[in-house]
Structure 1
Amino acid sequence: MIQKILLLLFVTSSAFGSLNGPFSPKSRLLPAAGTTDAEQLWHTQIVDHSRPLDTRTFSQRYFMTKDHYVQGGPIFLFLDGEWDATGNYISNTSFVGQMAARLNGALFELEHRYYGLSQPIGDLETESLLYLSIDQALADAADFALKMNEIHNFTGPWIVCGTSYSGMIAGFARQKYSHVFHAAYSSSGQQEAKVDFFEYHEMTGVGLAKVNPLCPGYLSAAMDEMVALISSQQPASLQYVSTAFNLCPESDLTLLTDARYLYALVANLYGAVVQFAFPGMISAECDKLMDGTGTPLLNLAEVVKQAYPNICLNVHYDDLMEFYRNSTAVAPGNNYRQYIYQTCTELGWFFTLSGNSPFGNVVPVEYFIDSCADVLGEQFSQAILEAGVARTNLEYGGKIPDVTRAIFTHGSFDGWTKVAAEADINADAPVIVIQDVGHAAEQFFFENDPPQLIAARERVELTIAQWISQFNQSF
């Protein structure tokens, strides 16, 4: 089951990626694999929306389908996040795609600047990432919508949508450009930037316990055993752990950074299981852990090795930093450095192991902050990050944004709910918490979708249809 999760995440065969190491601030759900019925196109976008005298532009990728559009109907804009755009979020197999078809809408999916093929500068040097920000991405969305109105003679309401980080952006777009976007739909979107996001793995423990009350304690026993062996710094103990987890020769558990890398990797594997919580997944992973024939630590090591089969596990911090420092590898699927820049300047969201989780207090926030400087430059300090996070929350209101005609959904298993509103923001900004499902669960369809998930989709569509009707009545 963990291997199924890994197929949906940005993870590479060398064990570098968003799930592992110091930069594991997000576990990200990708669109379902396969082709899309949407057409790939390009929009000439402004590099810097804040300086009118800067006339530079770049090509921003987008996808479009108007198969079910009726003149005067709504226009759905799905904003992509920190991934390559595929068009699948607006395909006829997606919830947004099917909803738009029923509402006679046109559909667009816009790739986020600096991700995928939408590269404003052409390299990822730290100074070249200056134009990577929430503000610039929001201006991209507004500019795109206005240009599409001119090209296609649209007169209907724009509905901006997104999921996870892009769900956050969708809600912000409705706030900042309410004259452009009539309504917003945010699926599992965050709202609050936060440096030390210890609550994420607290929720991992809560989710495990809800399905199997014995599972968190067993996991804690395995972690305690591992931490004790590594903390002893005895060569035999370090070799025992290295052999159990099949660590690569480069990995050096005498280094605190490498040990913390391993702790974070283990925590994020289980964090992903709970975050996405496909039916039966949590119970299956707990059973696999607890039904093993070895000690808790050895059983945990077997689970990790099954998640990364046929390779040794490189948890050498310096190798990871070198991988992330590569500023020239602008290629499809390589979106790590860009996202690191955002987390280190305006988002935070570091999955620390510093709260009441099954994994102990073994990875403090300083580990992540030091990594910002190691990747991007020594100027990326804790003070810079805290100022950027404070600005994000001041600008957009954190968990209590001043927004209307925006609907938010969250799965009750999803740790990201702890940086989002968990109850209605106001009468015109409802929050739907879908019980016993995970992150962005309603975006794509699975066999035997539970009734609460189906009901949530119906409520989202009914609410958006009502807002579209209000727009039409005003004209």
Structure 2
Amino acid sequence: MFNVIRFLKIFAVIFVSLVDCFENDYLDLEGYISQSQESGRNEIKKILQPVNHFDAQDTRTWNMTYIQNLEFWKPNGPIYINIGGPFPYEVQNNIFKKGFFLYDLVNETNGALFGSEHRYYGSTTPLNLTKTDNLKYLNSQQALADVAKLIKYVKSMLKAENSKVVVVGGNMDGNAGNLAAWMRLFYSDLVDAAVSASGAVLAKADFKDYYETVGENFLKYGTPGCYDKIAKLFNKFQTLLSTPEGIKQLKKEDDICDFVDMSKKENQQIFFSKNLFSFRIFSAIANDADYFKVVCEKNFNDTSIKSKLPQSKSDHIAKDGQDWCNNYDFDFNFNTPTKFPLLYQMCTEFGSFPTTEEGKHPFTNGVPVEYYYKACKVQFGPEFGKNRIEDAVKATNEMYGGLHPNVTKVVFVNGEFDPYRKLGVTENLSDDAPAFVIANSGRAGLLENKDSKNKELIEAKKKVKSLIKKWIGL
């Protein structure tokens, strides 16, 4: 059987969820990427992009990394662009492998395959991350313009002016699925069809539905009584944090750093947020209901303090030169010189803060939306508070259309286990903008998982391939 716990230990190191952790754990890839480093048939390339696409007077540029695979290319074949999310380009490696949806579609249609790296999240950035003002060029409009320029360039490079272009977006976190749909909305002259996998197209500040979905997954698919054991564990945390004696016990049992004042509500909120991290992972990566049973069997046979999924060392700091302790200090986590780009986009465009203050779930009320509002202000400045966030969310929905974007030839695909489907299109918008929810599948399962025994996933891949081929005239 697949070793889920071992996978999570590895995955937690590279999976950056600033929604919960907000830690600067991005891989340092400086100097690692060469101009044309090859991995199999994939070539790593660079394209010069403007820092600001919408100001002709601003001549600053930066090098955006992209992946190129031409092994199946035939003249006038379709061009596929996989849009990157908030990770370095290496996270896209799977989709460039045999057996995965996009690679196989490219093979079947004699296409060219490219993968773009999102500005500010990869090996190079337009500007450094130490000043909030440098992040003003990090937004979905600039990212869409990056993809548009890449499309124009590769069509010229391949001498393929008549080739159809398909954009695909979907990853374990972030907004790639949104961008794929929005490319058809804003650049329909360049993009002929799009696949939006797990695209959270609706911006929403207080995303209280998130952990309700996570709880539903464990209630429906976990072992009998698992949901109640999870609830008992989080209630135990809450009870211990309510008294000095309980805090002392919790700090000892959970190896919390001595200097962290766990009576402060902000530090308690970070504690809950980080202890929810593993539940986020499982609802994202699960492509089989048995995943939840395995989690329950491995981790929730009792409700001791150790009945938690493992955390990575990134959640700790050195103590006495050898040991490690959990650092849940709010200022340590947020008042840092380097700014967190994913948090910036959440604070200025998307919101989507997963909260536990309301809703039916087993995780208590330890993470209110105010926790995220304060994080935005501490990280980026006092003006980045509740009012600005709510105004930004409203503006994003007005610009792109929320759950009803005015698009055609876009297929929206969500996974049953994915909490972000609550922010996605799950019902057909029209005959040319259909939607699928794949049973027994997690986030971006269409793109991230090989064909398995999941009949629903296999069938969804067939349907989406058929739609794309029809839309590009094959």
TM-score, normalization by structure 2? 0.87
For 2:87 and 2:208, how far apart are their aligned partners in 1? 24
The alignment status of 1:132 with 2:142, answered yes or no, reads no
Quote how far apart the aligned CAs of 1:147 are: 2.0
> Which residues of 2 match residues 282-297 of structure 1 at below 5 A?
282-292=292-302, 296=303
Identity in percent: 27
The alignment status of 1:98 with 2:104, answered yes or no, reads yes
Partner of 2:166 in structure 1? Answer: 159
> Which residues of 2 match residues 52-451 of structure 1 at below 5 A?
52-86=56-90, 88=93, 90-93=95-98, 94-154=100-160, 155-164=162-171, 165-212=175-222, 214-232=225-243, 234=244, 236-279=245-288, 280-292=290-302, 296=303, 298=304, 300-305=305-310, 311-323=324-336, 325-327=337-339, 337-355=340-358, 356-446=360-450, 448-451=452-455
Partner of 2:32 in structure 1? Answer: none
For 2:435 and 2:280, how far apart are their aligned partners in 1? 23
Quote how far apart the aligned CAs of 1:18 are: 3.1
Deviation per CA, 1:312-370: give whole Å up to 9, x if none. 322221211134x325xxxxxxxxx1111111100111111122221122221111000
User: How many pairs does the alignment contain?
Assistant: 441
| Range moving further from structure 2, 394-403 or 304-313 | 304-313
CA RMSD of aligned residues (A): 2.3
> What secondary structure, in the 3-state scheme, does the structure 2 residue paired with 1:138 have?
helix
For 2:260 and 2:310, how far apart are their aligned partners in 1? 15
Letter in 2 for 1:108: F
Q: Check whether the contact 1:19–1:269 (CA below 8 A) recurs between aligned residues.
A: no
Q: Check whether the contact 1:9–1:19 (CA below 8 A) recurs between aligned residues.
A: no
Structure 1 runs of 4+ with >6 Å offset: 306-310
Q: Structure 2 vs 1, CA of residues 92 and 363 (structure 1 numbering), >3 Å: closer, same or farther?
A: closer
For 2:44 and 2:22, how far apart are their aligned partners in 1? 35
Deviation per CA, 1:138-174: give whole Å up to 9, x if none. 1111111112222221121100011041111111111
Q: Check whether the contact 1:114–1:132 (CA below 8 A) recurs between aligned residues.
A: yes
Letter in 1 for 2:195: Y
Letter in 1 for 2:242: S
> Which residues of 2 match residues 15-54 of structure 1 at below 5 A?
18=18, 20-21=20-21, 35=39, 37-54=41-58
Q: Check whether the contact 2:19–2:354 (CA below 8 A) recurs between aligned residues.
A: no
Deviation per CA, 1:425-471: give whole Å up to 9, x if none. 2111111111011111222445844111111111111111111117x
For 1:447 and 1:245, how far apart are their aligned partners in 2? 40
| Range moving further from structure 2, 249-258 or 434-443 | 249-258
Q: Structure 2 vs 1, CA of residues 446 and 99 (structure 1 numbering), >3 Å: closer, same or farther?
A: closer
> What secondary structure, in the 3-state scheme, does the structure 1 residue paired with 2:414 have?
strand
Q: Structure 2 vs 1, CA of residues 121 and 398 (structure 1 numbering), >3 Å: closer, same or farther?
A: same
